[in-house]
Structure 1
Amino acid sequence: MSLFERFLTLWVFLCIVAGIALGHLVPGVFQAIGAAEVAKVNLPVAVLIWLMIVPMLVKIDFASLGQVAKHWRGIGVTLFVNWAVKPFSMALLGWLFIGHLFRDWLPAEQIDSYIAGLIILAAAPCTAMVFVWSNLTKGEPVFTLSQVALNDAIMIVAFAPIVAFLLGLSAISVPWDTLALSVGLYIVVPVIVAQGLRRALLARGGLERFLTRVQPLSLLSLLATLVLLFGFQGEQILAQPLVIGLLAVPILIQVYFNAGLAYALNRLAGEAHCVAGPSALIGASNFFELAVAAAISLFGFQSGAALATVVGVLIEVPVMLTVVALVNRSKGWYEGRHG
């Protein structure tokens, strides 16, 4: 992990401060950016999201899908946690904490939107940072690559129906046309573009050099998006700074619950620790770039949904590093050693 990535939480915090300050100093600029929309898609944000997502998708080799049978138990556990547990457990946690336990401390008009943001966040399994987490746990690289490729392929067809289903259960109106446009714009088209770019770079032997050069641009685009989001969210956050802490609670519970579940199920299934580690991390982390883009498209810059997905970005690195530490320190227990 680069120095820049290691301190991502610090940069996110500084972007929060910068966004709120700029939102107060130059509100007209943010209003003009927010108005730059075509078919409910904000063009400046769309460009930034593409700069985030495409470099990450270039790393994915979909040819690795042919190797999924090699670690079928770990693949099965991760798919179960990612698609049958995580979105539904987050919907339950959002309903419990945001809809009931914390309701009196949150803006009443944003309750449903906060829950929607949490659901969107949980419905998108992580794509890029998983490679960092897997490396830190000495994870099996073939498993990690094939699992991420498989998740991306499933996300193309499953993300929209799962989000729509869970938002429907929460009685939140779902603009299907906007959701379908988000999937096409932020999943399908970037996957096609990224794989075409990957093939061209591999043919010329320039893939690694390209990834090294664009990785900082990808993170800078994420931070620029956060400045925009908090420029619009500033008034709400200053009025109720407790909101970020309250939204973090269900996200934290979800991360540790799903990581622990995947880790334990892999142990029961007899998978090696080098597979169980990345399986737990893939099961716990989120594709927050996609979540942020989808929340903005569906509910707008100033929505509680957009803010909820940004809280996921804020806590991603420190929380996942604690999961990495737990996985590494428990290797003896996992492999049946004592003492």
Structure 2
Amino acid sequence: MSNTAATTGHPAVVGKLSTLDRYLAVWIGVAMVVGLLVGRWIPGVNTALDKVQIDGISLPIALGLLIMMYPVLAKVRYDRLDTVTGDKKLLAGSLFLNWVLGPALMFALAWLFLPDLPEYRTGLIIVGLARCIAMVIIWNDLACGDREAAAVLVAINSVFQVIMFAVLGWFYLSVLPGWLGLEQTTIDTSPWQIAKSVLIFLGIPLLAGFLSRFFGERAKGRDWYDNKFIPKISPWALYGLLFTIVVLFSMQGEQITSQPWDVVRIALPLLAYFALMWGGGYILGAAIGLGYERTTTLAFTAAGNNFELAIAVAIATYGATSGQALAGVVGPLIEVPVLVGLVYVSLALRKRFAVEEVSSSRESARS
């Protein structure tokens, strides 16, 4: 869904959307079902896909994420990033939501919903610590958020992730439970493992997007780049998303479908988490006057999680068949459809923001 097309709900505009854009939620649902069925019905497909790795990272998933993120990052106006870095309210709000509220909320929900299931509980806490650096880019773009703000917030999350993930893991899994008289556990991960995830899933497409705009505009001008080149590559973001979903759920299909009740138990706190984080981001953004685009960006960067990192850490620490790994796998199973739904909620809220902005400008003119 392009930003231009999504700016209005007029039927004539909706009718001009491509079939892929118009039925996005349907295609994502189909991709999830196909992936689950492939993983369930084709013996060994998950093992085969997982064996194709580069330094421990699944190559098919990495490929899908890179294809998904490049077109969106190629759209970013890198000459406007200074307008984002100067927005102290946006940056402070994002840091609070991502690194204070998010991990604390997931810790509370994990203990509230799964007090008798320590493996799943630990897995969810790890998911809460892994702040989103990949798919949030596309959710933000689909909801017509601020691309430049998303690029900056994702970069900040990446730096904090390398520095703070292991520290917060130690605090929320060992120190805080000890203070509260709860069961303690441990986490074993290195800053390099986290930095590697950041460099691959964010660094490569970010560099490619920057170079595309830099050389494209120099060679043929900004008008050609924005109106000719970008429309040609834009659909690949959704192709990459659908491919990633099929591969991810193919790899974990048997594990998910063979334990349906466990999946339900894990899903409940995740649903609450995504709703509360997204809603909290919207309330905070509206309260501090960020406007629609940056409020949307704030909400989606707060609600999304880096499931690639969470799954990798859970498998490396507890094993591929562990409950912690299953909790990580269920993360995108819930996150993808929920955040797709929230894209449409965001677009519906856009009219209200527009009305409020018009009213505010009129009041300013009178005064």
TM-score normalized with structure 1 length = 0.80
Per-residue deviation at 1:310? 4.3
1:117 corresponds, among 113, 118, 127, to 127
Comparing 205-214 with 9-18, greater Cα deviation is found at 205-214
One-letter code aligned to 2:97: V
> In the aligned structure 1, how far is the partner of 2:83 from the partner of 2:157?
19
Q: Does 1:254 align with 2:277?
A: yes
Match runs of 1:73-152 below 5 Å: 75-104=87-116, 108-121=118-131, 126-134=136-144, 144-152=146-154
Deviations 1:156-203 (A, max 9, x none): 523322433332322233332211111111222332222112222223
Per-residue deviation at 1:284? 0.6
Equivalent residues of 2:277, 2:302 under 8 A apart: no
Give the paired residue count.
316
> In the aligned structure 1, how far is the partner of 2:131 from the partner of 2:61?
17
Equivalent residues of 2:64, 2:244 under 8 A apart: yes
Structure 2 unaligned regions, length at least 5:
2-16, 174-186
> SS of 1:127's equivalent?
helix
> In the aligned structure 1, how far is the partner of 2:51 from the partner of 2:41?
18
Structure 1 unaligned regions, length at least 5:
136-143, 267-274
Could you say which structure has the larger radius of gyration?
2
One-letter code aligned to 2:225: L
Q: Does 1:184 align with 2:199?
A: yes
> Where does residue 285 of structure 1 map in the other structure?
300
> In the aligned structure 2, how far is the partner of 1:5 from the partner of 1:289?
21
Equivalent residues of 2:97, 2:302 under 8 A apart: no
> Where does residue 247 of structure 2 map in the other structure?
228
> SS of 1:174's equivalent?
coil
Equivalent residues of 1:49, 1:293 under 8 A apart: no
> Where does residue 244 of structure 1 map in the other structure?
267
> In the aligned structure 2, how far is the partner of 1:287 from the partner of 1:218?
21
- Which structure has the higher relative contact order (CA within 8 Å, separation 6+)? 1
Deviations 1:86-131 (A, max 9, x none): 3322212211222322445xx6423212222233245779434434
2:209 corresponds, among 191, 194, 201, to 194
Deviations 1:266-302 (A, max 9, x none): 2xxxxxxxx4212221111039998244334434587
Match runs of 1:1-339 below 5 Å: 1=1, 2=17, 3-68=19-84, 75-104=87-116, 108-121=118-131, 126-134=136-144, 144-171=146-173, 172-205=187-220, 206-208=224-226, 209-238=228-257, 239-240=259-260, 241-242=263-264, 243-266=266-289, 275-286=290-301, 291-300=306-315, 303=325, 304-329=327-352, 335=359
Q: Given the superposition, is the C-alpha separation of residues 259 and 129 from structure 1 closer, same or farther in structure 2, using an over 3 Å criterion? A: same
> SS of 1:285's equivalent?
helix
Equivalent residues of 2:31, 2:246 under 8 A apart: yes
Q: Given the superposition, is the C-alpha separation of residues 314 and 132 from structure 1 closer, same or farther in structure 2, using an over 3 Å criterion? A: closer
RMSD, matched Cα: 3.1
> Where does residue 141 of structure 1 map in the other structure?
none
TM-score normalized with structure 2 length = 0.75
Per-residue deviation at 1:51? 0.8
Percent identical across equivalent pairs?
20
